[in-house]
Amino acid sequence: MAYNETGAPRAMTKKLVLTRASRDAFARTKNVLGEREYDLHHAPWDDNTLELVQNTRFDIIAIGFPGPIKALRRFVGCIRASGSASVRSGIVLLSDSQHLDAAQTFVGIGVGINRAIAWDDLEESLRPVIEDLAAVAPRIPLRAPTRVVLQLEQRPLRTFCQTENVSESGMLLRGFGHYPPGTVIDFEISIPGQGDPIRGRATIARTTNVSLERLEGVGARFDDFLGSDRSRLTEYLNEHLH
């Protein structure tokens, strides 16, 4: 059964549970995040914890990596199932450095895992990753080919890249040049199973920190959509969040 390290009830803005990790790992996590903004819980890797996260809403679920893959897929699948209280939570894998590349393969392929970071980078990357996941609209991992037109002063610049994840408010683009925040782009996202691409306009909000996020790209905020494409995206997200 999961437990709160202090046991004292507090008003917190973000609720996080760490599982499949040692007490020392939880202590490191607590030192990084503190206890003023986060309601931190440590839980064993078992069916009691799975029941906990299905019945209690957590903003973030952090899972140690590596471990049995079949058990990981089952755990995440139950969290993302319809009726789960944590269906829209951010799920982060915390991996040892030598297995980080393997952990990254579970991000953005429909498994339901949002991010993977290395334990060695915990002090630098955990807080921004968690705040990024908790602050935006619920997102889903989605790797889809994306055509982008940058609205530059000199002339429009056309390029192709790939979404890493998408929400109703924006998207993370992989393989995209480091254009500054404020750059306006037109986009076409070719989502699998959709006859026509999702089209619209967005503004680059940030560039990724490659050394911490292991991903070169940008985060973009949606500004407008063409025709009914916003409702099509919302429908797609709702189908895959439940």
Query: What pLDDT sits at residue 72?
Result: 94
The pLDDT value recorded for residue 174 is 86
Work out how many domains the chain is built from and give that number.
Answer: 2
pLDDT at residue 196 is higher than 70 = yes
Quote the CA–CA distance of 155 and 140 in Å, as a whole number.
33
Say whether both 119 and 169 belong to one domain: no
The answer, yes or no, to whether residue 112 has pLDDT greater than 50, is yes
pLDDT of 144 reads: 84
38-76, pLDDT tens digit by residue? 889 999 999 999 999 999 989 899 999 999 999 999 999
Q: Distance between the two ends of the chain, CA-based, in angstroms?
A: 25
Does one domain contain both 199 and 219? yes
Residue 170 shares a structural domain with residue 109? no
| Residues 16-46: tens digit of each pLDDT | 999 999 999 999 999 998 877 788 999 999 9
* Residues 155-189: tens digit of each pLDDT: 777 888 888 888 888 888 888 766 788 888 999 99
191 and 219 co-located in one domain: yes
Same structural domain, 233 and 145: yes
Residues 6+ apart with CB under 8 A from 2: 17, 19, 41, 42, 43, 44, 48, 49, 52
Domain final residue, candidates 78, 106, 135: 135
Q: Identify whether the C-beta of residue 161 lies closer than 8 Å to the C-beta of residue 187.
A: no
Give the range of the structural domain holding residue 106, as residue numbers without chain letter.
3-135
Decide: residue 126, CB within 10 A, 0-12 exposed, 13-18 middle, 19+ buried: buried
- Domain limit, last residue, from 118, 135, 152: 135
Last residue of a domain, one of 113, 135, 157: 135
Cβ–Cβ contacts within 10 Å for residue 98, how many? Answer: 9
Q: Are residues 152 and 112 in the same domain?
A: no
Please check the confidence at residue 108 and state whether its pLDDT lies above 90: no
Q: Are residues 109 and 189 in the same domain?
A: no
Which residues sit opposite 3 in a β-bridge? 42
Question: For position 232, which CATH number holds?
Answer: 2.30.110.10
Banded model confidence at residue 151, pLDDT cuts 50, 70, 90: confident
Residues 94-105 pLDDT 10s: 999 999 989 988
Count of other CB atoms within 10 angstroms of residue 55: 11
- 177 and 115, same structural domain? no
Neighbour count for residue 133 (Cβ, 10 Å): 21
Check: CB of residue 32 under 8 Å from CB of residue 61: no
